[in-house]
Structure 1
Amino acid sequence: MDVDFLKNILEGVKMGNIEIEDALKELKILPFEDLGYAKIDHHRSIRNGYPEVIYCEGKTDEHILGIIEKMSQKNCNILGTRVKKETYEKIKKIYPNCKYEELGRIIKIQNKPIENIGKGNIVVVTGGTSDIPVAEEAYHTAHFLGNNVKKLYDVGVAGIHRLLNNKELLFDARVIIAVAGMEGALASVVGGLVDVPVIAVPTSVGYGANFNGLSALLTMLNSCASGISVVNIDNGFGAGYLASMINKL
């Protein structure tokens, strides 16, 4: 549900095309619709500018399908994260317009045109190839929320000339998402080159002392470069969402 949906209801009542009782049936599910196992926040796009996103990990396929059904009834564009391919196959049978981004484990159901709300480019940068799945989650999240998004993968500090050879892409960005595991130094390097916000995403990529991403997280939190914010380990979605909020300001 979005602002246009509410405007259409109010306009319909004003013009006499919608009965007051019918309008009340639609409005009474605000601010959420209780399915028993989930409370769908139909009001979120009005408050935050984006509809609720379905975090699918840990949910049953039946629950995911139930949430999608209710959101589709409101003509929402639907984004789901951490989706297993087997779950996508079940969704695809019911919603043929469902798209699956396998690397990022993202499903997208576009029920209406996506408005480009971004003021500039978001650039997603990775330290290595192993960081790409998390980067893809960030990329597709930001793109689905209405932004121009560009990729710059495998340009970590072990071969920093790869990053410097693409500095024009960095300088043209309005927001940068830096995704890296191991020691997580990429965000500091990027932050020292640009005059725009850098969102650092630590990944769980690395050997034993990486502690499943903790070393990269601590490096990013302790960065000496200014203008860096840090999301949780492997949280590509959070980075893409935050970048979109910044880019539409």
Structure 2
Amino acid sequence: MEQNEIRKLLQNVANGDILVDDALLHIKNEPFEDLGYAKPDFHRKSRQGVSEVIYGAGKTAEQIIGISKSFAEHGQKDILITRLDKAKAEKINKEIPLDYYDMANIGIIGSMPKERVGKIVIATGGTSDIPIAEEAAITAEMLGNNTVRLYDVGVAGIHRLLTHTEEIMTARVVIAIAGMEGALASVIGGLADCPVIAVPTSVGYGASFGGIAALLSMLNSCASGVSVVNIDNGFGAAFQASMINHMGGLNE
């Protein structure tokens, strides 16, 4: 159930149009379905404001199809699938129409929301960070946010970033994505008056330790207001940014 459906149900209880026990039964009805290999959560949106997202890595195309059909049967028409490779996407598309975003490794069943709010700026240190940035961007857009992409603006040529100070200073949230030493988050943190979510990537040479060097650098940022998600976690950064962007009844 969506939050507006629950609100309507509670209003009907308040008006005396429905009994309390009947309303409780309606809310409890089918919170999830046991498919054996998965238990799709139909109450996720009522609890968290966002429907359950399917993590595609490690799942077969057949399992993703089964989970998606279960969601659709319970009213969730728009489904986000992350970490989905092209081969699985093609199999799914034969059974369920799906839009595939190759760079982001994301599949979307249904459609993107037509109305989006606020502004989330997504910046990368280099071009090699773009796959993680696109995961963040497509996720943020699917969650109803306006996004601005600033790609390849790393500190090795900091003048490239400084030409975009207006976008950074007018953002509701900034997602800073970088590998190597991960310095981009600190620089942006020193320019922005909004939360900065840092995403370390596994881009870099041997001493970057698959993103651990960038992770530690971002965790030790001297810029206030910088938070950090896990290595290559563009989805997690976008989800957090969306929650911040939607706070306070933002409607611009």
Could you state the TM-score of these two structures normalised by the residue count of structure 2?
0.88
Contiguous gaps of at least 5 residues in structure 1:
none
Which residue number in structure 2 is paired with residue 241 of structure 1?
A: 239
Shift of 1:94: 1.9
- 1:168-222 deviations in Å (ceiling 9; x for gaps): 1111111000000000000000000111000000000000000000000000000
What amino acid is the match of 2:222? C
Partners of 2:10 and 2:61 lie apart in 1 by 36
Shift of 1:3: 3.1
Which residue number in structure 1 is paired with residue 127 of structure 2?
A: 129
Shift of 1:75: 2.9
Give the aligned length: 240
* Residues 63/8 of structure 1: CA separation in 2 closer, same or farther (3 Å cut): farther
Partners of 1:163 and 1:111 lie apart in 2 by 33
Which residue number in structure 1 is paired with residue 175 of structure 2?
A: 177
Q: CA RMSD in A?
A: 2.4
* Residues 94/15 of structure 1: CA separation in 2 closer, same or farther (3 Å cut): farther
Residue 79 of structure 1 aligns to a residue in which SS?
Answer: strand
- 1:137-166 deviations in Å (ceiling 9; x for gaps): 000001000000110000000000000011
Question: Bigger CA drift: 34-43 or 44-53?
Answer: 34-43
Which residue number in structure 1 is paired with residue 106 of structure 2?
A: 106
* Residues 29/95 of structure 1: CA separation in 2 closer, same or farther (3 Å cut): same
Is 1:158 aligned to residue 159 of structure 2? no
What amino acid is the match of 1:54? I
* Residues 227/146 of structure 1: CA separation in 2 closer, same or farther (3 Å cut): same
Is 1:228 aligned to residue 226 of structure 2? yes
Contiguous gaps of at least 5 residues in structure 2:
248-252
Which residue number in structure 2 is paired with residue 3 of structure 1?
A: 3
Which residue number in structure 1 is paired with residue 196 of structure 2?
A: 198
* Residues 160/108 of structure 1: CA separation in 2 closer, same or farther (3 Å cut): same
Which residue number in structure 1 is paired with residue 96 of structure 2?
A: 95
Asked if the contact 1:2/1:46 (under 8 Å) is kept, the reply is: yes
* Residues 28/192 of structure 1: CA separation in 2 closer, same or farther (3 Å cut): same
Aligned pairs for 1:41-80 within 5 A: 41-76=41-76, 77-80=78-81
Shift of 1:40: 1.0
Shift of 1:92: 1.2
Partners of 1:236 and 1:167 lie apart in 2 by 22
Partners of 1:187 and 1:49 lie apart in 2 by 28
Aligned pairs for 1:210-221 within 5 A: 210-221=208-219
Partners of 2:113 and 2:163 lie apart in 1 by 36
* Residues 112/217 of structure 1: CA separation in 2 closer, same or farther (3 Å cut): closer
Is 1:207 aligned to residue 205 of structure 2? yes
Identity of aligned residues (%): 58
Residue 84 of structure 2 aligns to a residue in which SS?
Answer: coil
